[in-house]
DNA sequence: GTCTATACAGTGATAGAC
DNA sequence: GTCTATCACTGTATAGAC
């Protein structure tokens, strides 16, 4: 009797923690930290405020849990196994397209906005995010560039620097325009077009024998 | 008597509005919108809360006034008159260095953070900022690239695209690391080194006959 | 216009019953 | 663990005297 009640409550507790995190994620990413109240989160999650405080010590801890969780989702993103170091153009276009599609996804944009907006108040956010997102992407790009240089399809001396420059070319100004809400994902030239332009420029700088001319 | 008093008060009013704006700027840029109270702004400006509300209809209007004002300060920045379209490397290095120094200045970083953080709540911020900052810089770069292409020191077909790519190369990842508070202005390779690397890559892609080899 | 004082709403957080 | 009810506190905004 007490055991049954305990078991049911444990399951219920896990599920409620989940609803709280889901509601908090949605509201924080949408409206920022300061504009969201614990009351609103509790209401959206269908629980009482006291329940929220039973699971999370306070608003800041709940915020940290949400952001850390979202950052970790990026850690299990794509692999680079199927890239061909012998074919730089095709591989870079594929790498760049996945990179840019991730950057322009609504969740990633919202995460960027809130982290940049709150990194002053929560300094730890900066490093958590950097390691979960940008640094990891740069590492993958650098690994491919190193392999491609070894395979002879690229002429690269400083792979880390080249990786940063490739990432910068792909990102261009389009990410900023999206962050500022000047463009929606559909507007403007498509992702593929932007990436192709970036790959063109990158290969003119680092390609072994320019492909055209 | 009443006139003297009125005149003194007008002057005093203008000066108080100025103190309020200055205090609000400092606090908003430092802590964001939600974390700053009207009470704290009034205290920092040395006036009463009622005086703040006499000059600005509310917190949002005061915030908008501060941000619009900061954005306009960027509009009167540097000129491109002294650049030499015949010497692409030197001119691009100078252009890039001023661009990056501006981007990494504490005020610009704080402005970026708060605008990105609050653009969800204040959609107008995005366009105001874009026109005051990035768009203007891109226009200057594009104008120089066009002149350099005409002068024969660069091979450029789409000057707008090339300008975006140059800006992206210069900005690289260093702006993001600063925004995330992972680096201070002093850390890492100096601005000049970063810009030189960006100019190198840009000239390998767009230079008329690579300068080396 | 400017101040002091205050009304009012909404916040984060908790106590006690179940 | 979960709820209802409530706490103390802060921030927004206004009234009224000067």
Report the distance from CA of residue B113 to the C1' of nucleotide C1 in Å, as an integer.
35
Quote the tokens at residue A60.
């800041």
Query: What digits encode the pLDDT tens for the residues A18-30?
Result: 999 999 999 999 9
CA distance between the termini of chain A: 82
Q: Per the CB < 8 Å rule, is A116 touching B179?
A: yes
Query: What digits encode the pLDDT tens for the residues B25-36?
Result: 999 999 999 999
Report the distance from CA of residue A124 to the C1' of nucleotide C11 in Å, as an integer.
25
Query: Would you put residue A172 in left (φ > 0), alpha (ψ -120 to 50) or beta?
Result: left
What's the mean pLDDT in A8-25?
A: 82
Locate the chain B residue with the closest alpha carbon to A197: B161
Q: Per the CB < 8 Å rule, is A113 touching B117?
A: yes
Confidence category of residue B5, pLDDT binned at 50, 70, 90: very low
The mean predicted confidence, pLDDT, of chain A is 90
Model pLDDT, residue A186 = 79
Nucleotides of C under 7 A from a protein CB: 1-6, 10-16
For B181, the closest of A34, A114, A119 (CB atoms) is A119
Model pLDDT, residue A11 = 52
Q: How far is A64 from chain B (nearest CA, A)?
A: 16
Decide if pLDDT at B203 tops 50: yes
Phi, psi (degrees; rounded to nearest 5) at B158? -110, 100
Q: Which residues of A touch B177 (CB under 8 A)?
A: 130
For B180, the closest of A32, A33, A119 (CB atoms) is A119
Distance between CA atoms of B32 and B115, rounded to whole angstroms?
9
Confidence category of residue A188, pLDDT binned at 50, 70, 90: confident
The mean predicted confidence, pLDDT, of chain B is 89
Report the distance from CA of residue B40 to the C1' of nucleotide D8 in Å, as an integer.
20
Decide if pLDDT at B181 tops 50: yes
Q: Are A128 and A111 in contact (CB under 8 A)?
A: no
Q: Which residues of A touch B172 (CB under 8 A)?
A: 164-165, 168
Confidence category of residue A78, pLDDT binned at 50, 70, 90: low
Please tell me whether any atom of strand D lies within 7 Å of the Cβ of A9.
yes
Contacts from B88-95 at CB under 8 Å and sequence distance 24+? B88/B148, B88/B153, B88/B154, B88/B203, B88/B207, B89/B199, B89/B203, B89/B207, B89/B211, B91/B144, B91/B148, B92/B144, B92/B166, B92/B199, B92/B202, B92/B203, B93/B192, B93/B195, B93/B196, B93/B199, B95/B140, B95/B141, B95/B144
For B34, the closest of A32, A129, A169 (CB atoms) is A32
Distance between CA atoms of A171 and A110, rounded to whole angstroms?
16
Confidence category of residue A164, pLDDT binned at 50, 70, 90: very high
Distance between CA atoms of B126 and B52, rounded to whole angstroms?
26
Distance between CA atoms of B54 and B165, rounded to whole angstroms?
47
Nucleotides of D under 7 A from a protein CB: 1-6, 10-16
Model pLDDT, residue A209 = 61
Query: What digits encode the pLDDT tens for the residues B122-138?
Result: 999 999 999 999 999 99
Q: Per the CB < 8 Å rule, is A168 touching B171?
A: yes
Decide if pLDDT at A5 tops 80: no
Locate the chain B residue with the closest alpha carbon to A29: B120
Report the distance from CA of residue B40 to the C1' of nucleotide D11 in Å, as an integer.
10
Q: Which residues of B touch A142 (CB under 8 A)?
A: none
What's the mean pLDDT in A157-180?
A: 97
Q: How far is A20 from chain B (nearest CA, A)?
A: 22
Query: What digits encode the pLDDT tens for the residues A33-76?
Result: 999 999 999 999 999 999 999 999 999 999 999 999 999 887 77
Distance between CA atoms of B146 and B88, rounded to whole angstroms?
11
Distance between CA atoms of A167 and A174, rounded to whole angstroms?
12
Q: Per the CB < 8 Å rule, is B32 touching A117?
A: yes
Locate the chain B residue with the closest alpha carbon to A174: B164
Pairs of CB atoms within 8 A across A/B: 127
Q: Per the CB < 8 Å rule, is B173 touching A134?
A: yes
What's the mean pLDDT in A139-149?
A: 96
> Would you give the DSSP letter of residue A105?
S
Other residues' Cβ atoms within 10 Å of the Cβ of residue B38: 16
């Amino acid at each position: 009797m007490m055991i049954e009640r305990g078991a049911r409550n444990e399951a219920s507790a896990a599920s409620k923690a989940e609803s709280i995190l889901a509601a908090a994620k949605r509201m924080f990413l949408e409206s920022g930290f300061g504009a969201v109240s614990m009351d609103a989160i509790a209401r959206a999650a269908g629980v009482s405020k006291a329940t929220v405080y039973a699971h999370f010590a306070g608003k800041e801890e709940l915020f940290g849990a949400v952001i850390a969780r979202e950052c970790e989702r990026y850690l299990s993103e794509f692999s680079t196994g199927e890239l061909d170091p012998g074919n730089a153009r095709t591989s870079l276009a594929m790498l760049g397209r996945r990179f840019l599609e991730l950057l322009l996804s609504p969740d990633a944009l919202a995460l960027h906005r809130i982290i940049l907006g709150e990194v002053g108040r929560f300094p730890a956010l900066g490093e958590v995010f950097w390691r979960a997102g940008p640094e990891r992407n740069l590492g993958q790009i650098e690994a491919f560039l190193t392999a491609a240089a070894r395979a002879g399809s690229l002429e690269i001396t400083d792979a880390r620097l080249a990786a940063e420059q490739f990432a910068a070319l792909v990102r261009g100004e389009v990410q900023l325009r999206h962050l500022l809400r000047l463009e929606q994902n559909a507007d403007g030239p498509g992702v593929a077009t932007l990436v192709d332009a970036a790959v063109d420029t990158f290969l003119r700088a680092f390609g072994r024998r320019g492909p055209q001319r």
